[in-house]
Amino acid sequence: MKQRRDTSNKYSVNAGAFGQQILSLDYFYKQMGSLGSVFQRAVARANPHEIVSRDTELAAYIPHCSGLGDRHYIEYNPSAARDIIKLLQFRFHEMTHVFQYQKTPVLHAVSINPVADDLGIMLSPKAYLQASILLEQDAAAKESWLIAEALKACSVPKTMQGTNGYNYAQRIAGQFHVMHDVWSTKMPRDERLQRAINELAMGGLDYEVSSGVSAKIAYGLSALHSYDEMIAQWKDMNGGQKPVLVDLTKQDILEIGNSFGPNSFADTKGQLHNVFASQFDLLPRIAVKKIFEQAHALGYSKPSSGVTLDQALSGSRCTRQDFLKLSLAP
């Protein structure tokens, strides 16, 4: 979950060569057939602003609730903007984040969202940590699936093959094929895809980003830091007032996983998969210590509250869908 960003030194999707690069992705979407068309329609509905930023390492999504009013952004590093295959892959990943925020009310329960601030609600320390990791697990699974489908459907010119972007995309696509092909071809197609997406979400953050540090741990540490910033902002805006802390429910987790295509966190019956229901039962000791400290900073003794978003909103006569619409509104 990205925080408020200064976009004054960035340039838009409509600017020059980058705009042409985005438009050239239409070739891949058209070759993907109905799946590509559905993806394009989802992008058009969400309509994020896409920009190039040297401040971004690879690519990042900055949602509506980052203090930018009605604007929400995908930022791409210039190196990604220049490599069409890399841009295609990163766009699948970041657009998944766009769709998550378009569909999941609880993600907007953060202090930098004026609507949440007015209602006095905020994700609990444990819920924020959980949500941050779930967002990336879902995006990793959808990225692998969609880039695999794109590369399978398209004849990639030889001039694009052998580049860093192409080689990396092939590796990510290969992860999908491994997870997909392990299941019997006698299995119904939808069930086979569902199981592959589940497996990708389970293991998609297990790769190392530095010596002994997995992506899952790195995203968790980043979330802990971001929550410290949220606490500071809450206190600046509200003084000693305590927010109503909100925990994640099964419904919230399934809404995150329902970003695009098969639900990353649902089993073949549409229920929350037991792996994702229990993956946060045992957190690393350093994370447990930190979320307790964060709870104490907000005046609570525990990092989870037992309060759902619906319960937190009940006194305001605002439903979860009302809250989502208000949070996304200009």
How do residues 207-262 score in pLDDT, each as one tens digit? 888 888 898 999 999 999 999 999 999 999 888 899 999 999 999 999 999 999 99
**Alpha-carbon distances, residue 119 vs 86, 108, 297 (angstroms):** 40, 12, 20
Q: What is the pTM of this model?
A: 0.91
Q: Quick one: tokens of 75?
A: 């930022």
Tokens coding 291 = 């979320």
Three-class SS of residue 12? strand
Is the predicted pLDDT of residue 14 greater than 80, yes or no?
no
Question: What does the block give as tokens for 230?
Answer: 């949220």
Give the other-Cβ count within 10 Å of 250's Cβ.
Answer: 12
Residue among 139, 112, 137, 109 nearest 249 (CA): 109
Alpha carbon distance 22, 43 (integer Å): 12
Whole-number pLDDT of residue 16? 66
**Cβ contacts of residue 253 below 8 Å, gap of 6+?**
130, 134, 265, 272, 276, 277
What pLDDT, in 10s, does the model give residues 131-187?
A: 999 999 999 999 999 999 999 998 776 666 667 777 888 888 888 888 888 777 778
For 48-69, the pLDDT digits (tens) are 989 898 888 889 998 875 555 5
Residue-level pLDDT at 167: 82
Measured from the Cβ of residue 254, the count of other Cβ atoms closer than 10 Å reads 19
Residue 2 predicted with pLDDT over 50: no
The answer to whether 238 and 116 have CB atoms below 8 angstroms apart is no
Q: What is the mean pLDDT of the chain?
A: 88
DSSP for 248-297? --HHHHHHHHTSSSS-TTB-TTSSBPHHHHHTTSS--HHHHHHHHHHHHH
**CA torsion sign, 318 to 324 to 325 to 329?**
positive
Mean pLDDT confidence for 258-287: 93
Q: From the CB of residue 85, how many other CB atoms can be counted at a distance below 10 Å?
A: 24
DSSP state of 317: T
5: which DSSP letter? -
Contact 107, 122 (CB under 8 A): no
Name beta bridge partners: 60. Answer: 75
- Residue located via tokens 């976009």: 7
Angstrom distance (rounded) from CA 241 to CA 243: 7
Angle between helix axes 215-238 and 285-297 (nearest 10 degrees) is: 10
Strands (E), the chain: 11-12, 49-52, 59-62, 73-76, 121-123, 208-210, 213-214, 244-246
Residue 236 CA to residue 234 CA, distance in Å, equals 5
- 106 pLDDT more than 70: yes
